[in-house]
Chains A and B, each alone.
Chain A
Amino acid sequence: MRATLILAVQAALARAYPRAVWMTRNRTWLIQETLLPVLSVSAFAYSYIAMKAPPEYVGFVILGAAMTTFWLNVLWAMGAHLYWERDSGNLGLYIMSPAPMMSILAGMAMGGMTTTTVRAAAIVLAGVLLFDVPFDPTSWWLLIGVFLLTLLALYGLGMMFASLFLLWGREAWHTVNLLQEPVYLLAGMNFPLKNVFPMAVAGTALLLPLATGMDAMRQVLFRAEGVLHYSYEIGMLAVLAAIFLVSAKWSLDYLERKSREEGRLTVRWE
C-alpha cells in the first residue's frame, strides 16, 4: 500500500513536470494568455465603469477572467489530453506502466493548476493595478480554501472528461466546444448570478463547479450577495469534487477495460 502510494506520488510529479517546464521554455504564453485576457477584462471593466456600476463589479470581471483560465485549462489541457496522449503514443506507455492512471491524471492536473495559477495571478495583478479593485474579504484563509476547493472540483471534472473524451472521441470534443459559451453565461463569468438569473436557473448553474466556486468567492472577497450562502456552496463544491473524482476513477477503469477488449487503446486516429 505504501509502495503504491509512493509510486503514485512519483508518477504524478513526473507527469506534472512537462507542464511546469512548458512555462519556462515557451514564453509566448505571456502575451497569449496574460496580455490578451487583460484586454478582454478591460473591455468589460470599462463597460461597468461607463455605466457607473458599483466598483466591485469590475472585481467580478477580473475574478471571472482568472477563473475562466482554469476552466479552459480543464477543458483543453485535461479533458482533451488523454486523446492527445494517445495520438502521440504516450497513452499506451502510461497504461502499461505500474503507475495508477489516476496518478497520471493527477499529475496532469497538478501541472495544469500550477501553470494556470501563474496565468490567473498575472491577470488578477494586472486587473488590480489597472482598475484599483476594492477587495474586502471576510477572510483571506477562507478565500484560499474556497479557491482550492473550486480547483479540486474543476480538475476532478477535468479528470472525468479526460476518459470521456477518449471514449467518445471527437464527438465529445465538439460537444464541449459547443458548450463553452453557454458555460460562460451560466457560470456568471462577468456578472453576479443572483442579480441576473431567476432562482431556478441560478440554482441549476450551481451544478457547475465554476459557477459555485465563483459565486462563493464573490461573497467572500467582495461581501456580495450569492445565490446561496457561501457555506452551502462550499459544501456543494466538496460534494461535486468527490463525485467527479470517483467518476473519474470509474470512467478510467471502464475506459481501460473497454479499450483492451476492443483494441482501441493505442490505436491512433480512431
Chain B
Amino acid sequence: MNKLSIRIEGLSRVYRKKRKRKWFRKQPAESAKDFVALDDVNLEVRPGELFGLLGPNGAGKTTLIKILTTLLSPSTGNAWVDGLDVVKQAKELRPRINMVSGGESSGYGILTVRENIWLFARIYGVPNEQIKARTDRMLDVVGLADKASSRVSHLSTGQRQKMNFCRGFVTDPKILFLDEPTLGLDVTAARNIRQFIQQWMKEDPRRTILLTTHYMAEADELCDRLAIVDRGKILACNSPTNLKRLVQEHPLFAMTLSPGPNGLPELNGLAGVRQATRTETPTTVELKVSLEEEPAIGSVVSKIAASGAKILTLRKVEPTLEDVFIEHVGHGIESEAG
C-alpha cells in the first residue's frame, strides 16, 4: 500500500476580518472584508519526497503549512498528513510531525540553547539520551556547538534561528515542515543547512519534507518536486527539471543593456515576444526575453537600438526556475516579495 505523505483535496482558507463595532456612533458597522489565502488547492506528496512550495510573500505557503501542522482549520476541503485527517485526527498526527519557521524567535531567553532544545523535545516524549545525542549532532551541523551553554537571550537573531532549526529535527519527525528555513541566514550557514537536509532525507527513505521558500536556487537544489504558488493557487507542479523543460520550448535570451536617454522601450506586446522582464542595476539593465521563435530576436534588437540604448551583451540562455516562475506568475518572485 503506497500511502501518500500529504494529500490535499480542494483546500481553501478564507480569513474573515472581524467587523469593527462603532460604539456610540450612528454609522453602521464596517463591512467585513474577506481574504482568500488558499483557493481550491490540490496536492499530493509521496513518502521520501522533498517537496517544495515556491512563491512570493503572501502566496499562501505559510497558511498551507499551518493547516497541515494542525494549527489552522481549512475553510473548505480536506487534507491528510501521513494518512491522518489534519482536522479530525490532529492528536494522532502531532507526534509524527514538526515544523521550523525561518525568522522564528521562540524559546526562553533565560535558558541555554541546549536547555531550550531539551524542553521542546521533552514535550514530544523524546528520551533524554536521544535528545543529548541528536542535539550534539544538530548543533555541529548549524555551527552552534560553542554556544550550547549560552543563554538564548545572549544570541543573535540568526543564532536563535539556527537553534530553532535544531529544535525541529531533534524530535526526528516522520514528516517535517520547513517554512523558509534559511531566511536571513548567512551563506555558509544556509549551505550547511541545505546539505544537512539532503543528508537527513537520505538516512531514512520514509521521511518527507515539505519546504517553502522564495529562494529559487534553494528550491532548485533541494526539491524533488515543487509547486509554484501565487495568490493561494497552485499554478504548476513538477520536478524542477521538468518545469524548466516546459519553458525550454521557447527560446530565451539574456541581454545586458546600457539605457539611452529615453530609457528602454516596452518589449511586451512586440510581435514574437512572449515575455520580457528586466532587472535594473545602478548602471545597467539585465533583460530576459522569452520568444515565440528565435528569429524574433532581430526585431527586439532593432527596437532597443532605436531607443538609443546600447546592447553590451547578448546570449541565448537555458531557463532557470526564476524563468519558470515568471512564465507562470507573470513577474519575478522578488518584485512581489519586496
The chain A residues found within 8 Å of chain B, CB to CB, are 3, 6-7, 10-11, 13-15, 17-18, 21-22, 25-26, 88-90, 92-99, 104, 260-263, 265-266
A87 nearest in chain B by CB position: B105
Residue in A13, A22, A88, A96 with the greatest tally of chain B CB atoms within 10 Å: A96
- Option from B71, B107, B108 in Cβ contact (under 8 Å) with A96: B71
SS of A interface (majority): helix
- CB contacts (< 8 Å) of A96 on chain B: these are 69-71, 94, 97-99
Interchain CA distance A260-B16 in the complex, whole Å: 13
Tell yes or no: B118 within 8 A of A by CB.
yes
Number of A-B contacts (CB under 8 A): 86
Tell yes or no: B327 within 8 A of A by CB.
no
B91 nearest in chain A by CB position: A98
Interchain CA distance A265-B98 in the complex, whole Å: 17
Q: Are A266 and B71 in contact (CB under 8 A)?
A: yes
Return the 3 tightest CB-CB contacts between A and B, nearest first: A89-B106, A14-B122, A99-B123
- A sample of 17 inter-chain contacts (CB < 8 A) reads A7-B123, A13-B122, A14-B122, A14-B123, A17-B111, A17-B115, A88-B105, A88-B108, A89-B107, A93-B120, A96-B69, A96-B94, A96-B97, A96-B98, A97-B120, A262-B16, A263-B66
Residue in A3, A95, A97 with the greatest tally of chain B CB atoms within 10 Å: A97
Q: Are B71 and A260 in contact (CB under 8 A)?
A: yes
Tell yes or no: B125 within 8 A of A by CB.
yes
- Option from A22, A25, A94, A262 in Cβ contact (under 8 Å) with B123: A94
Known: A90-B107, A266-B66. A6 touches B125 (CB 8 A): yes
Interface hits, B59-93 → A, CB 8 Å = 66, 69-73, 91
- CB contacts (< 8 Å) of A93 on chain B: these are 106, 120, 167
- Option from B69, B105, B118 in Cβ contact (under 8 Å) with A89: B105
Known: A26-B110, A263-B15. A95 touches B71 (CB 8 A): yes
Number of interface residues of B (CB under 8 A): 32
Interface hits, B112-170 → A, CB 8 Å = 115, 118-120, 122-125, 151, 167
Tell yes or no: B322 within 8 A of A by CB.
no
- CB contacts (< 8 Å) of A98 on chain B: these are 91, 94-95, 123-125
- CB contacts (< 8 Å) of A10 on chain B: these are 122-123, 125
Interchain CA distance A60-B273 in the complex, whole Å: 88
Known: A7-B125, A14-B123. A261 touches B73 (CB 8 A): yes
Interchain CA distance A98-B94 in the complex, whole Å: 5
Tell yes or no: B104 within 8 A of A by CB.
yes
Interchain CA distance A261-B66 in the complex, whole Å: 12
A95 nearest in chain B by CB position: B71
Distance between A106 CB and nearest chain B CB, rounded to angstroms: 12
Q: Are B71 and A99 in contact (CB under 8 A)?
A: no
Known: A92-B71, A95-B71, A263-B15. A18 touches B104 (CB 8 A): no
Distance between B224 CB and nearest chain A CB, rounded to angstroms: 25
- CB contacts (< 8 Å) of B70 on chain A: these are 95-96, 260
- CB contacts (< 8 Å) of B124 on chain A: these are 97-99
- Option from A15, A92, A261, A263 in Cβ contact (under 8 Å) with B119: A15
- CB contacts (< 8 Å) of B151 on chain A: these are 25
A sample of 7 more A-B contacts (CB under 8 A), given A96-B94, A263-B13, is A18-B108, A18-B115, A21-B115, A90-B107, A95-B71, A96-B97, A104-B123
Interchain CA distance A90-B164 in the complex, whole Å: 11
Interchain CA distance A13-B167 in the complex, whole Å: 18
Interface hits, B1-39 → A, CB 8 Å = 13, 15-16
- CB contacts (< 8 Å) of B98 on chain A: these are 96
Interchain CA distance A25-B152 in the complex, whole Å: 13
Interchain CA distance A260-B15 in the complex, whole Å: 11
- CB contacts (< 8 Å) of A17 on chain B: these are 111, 115, 119
- CB contacts (< 8 Å) of A266 on chain B: these are 66, 71
- CB contacts (< 8 Å) of A3 on chain B: these are 125
- CB contacts (< 8 Å) of B71 on chain A: these are 92, 95-96, 260, 265-266
Distance between B58 CB and nearest chain A CB, rounded to angstroms: 14
Q: Are A11 and B123 in contact (CB under 8 A)?
A: yes
Residue in A22, A260, A265 with the greatest tally of chain B CB atoms within 10 Å: A260
**Per-residue CB proximity of B300-334 to A under 8 Å, as 1/0?**
00000000000000000000000000000000000
